[in-house]
Amino acid sequence: MSMTDKAKKFRDSEWADTARTVAYAVLIALVIRALLFQPFNIPSGSMIPTLMIGDYLFVSKYSYGYSKHSLPFSLPLFEGRVLANQPERGDVIVFKKPTDNQTDFIKRLIGLPGDEIQMRRGVLHINGQPVQRERIEDFIETRPGGSIRRYPQYRETLPNGVSYVTLDTDPDGYLDNTGAYKVPAGHFFMMGDNRDNSNDSRVPAEVGYVPFENLVGRAEVLFFSTDGSARIWEPWKWFSATRWDRIFSGIN
């Protein structure tokens, strides 16, 4: 075998090794994404103040078991859930919007199967009982140009002890008074913490009751957050735009 042939064979071997390494890396990434953790970012303010626009978080895919929506592109390889674990009231959950089974939404689980959920004058009621609600300091929003807006915040505590903060931007919002929703078997009732600015289970035409199969995973931890003031081509602004106090914080 000539030196040229040997060199060609060596280059071919290197290319084959590189291709195998890339293939293994892609396969490992897909397995992690499908079975363990998946990153998401927050594009809207429906979960303020718990989650802010520009937050990046990891969702645990194993928390509730696996459905077709655990797979990339929701591949219909099987029906229902395997290794299923029931979610708990108060969990912050990513799910596929039931009205299209494609769009990722993130909300808080408020109602379990069989619960009756209702909003009365801005107060959440579960099975006819008002949820404990405590007024706390205002949420302060700094708008472009430097103007400041203040909104009332409340700390809610669910019957199982889970506590979190909600935002009330409109004391007479149309979602502050609703009929009673009876959560059907195998479904859950989801609500945003920004109560007056959230399309959630209170809006049947948009979301409605969420089937167990549609749950993607539980929000666990923030790994990055930016206030949006720096563009990708403005690296000199990246440091000041980062919300350093939110990085690696848990989601409650």
Residues forming the active site: 46, 107
Of 177, 175, 211, the closest CA to residue 46 belongs to 175
- 8-state DSSP, 246: G
In Å, what is the CA distance from 12 to each residue of 2, 16, 19, 26?
15, 6, 11, 21
Q: What is the DSSP string of 115-153?
A: -EEEEETTEEEETTEEPEEEEEEEEEEEPTTS-EEEEEE
The C-alpha atoms of residue 14 and residue 85 are separated, in whole angstroms, by 45
**Strand pairing partners for 117?**
126, 181
- Which residue type sits at 179? G
Quote the tokens at residue 210.
């969420």
Instruction: Report residue 20 as tokens.
Output: 């195998």
Hey, what are 144's tokens? 């472009």
How far is Cα of residue 237 from the mean position of the Cα atoms in its chain? 27
Beta bridge partners of 141: 149
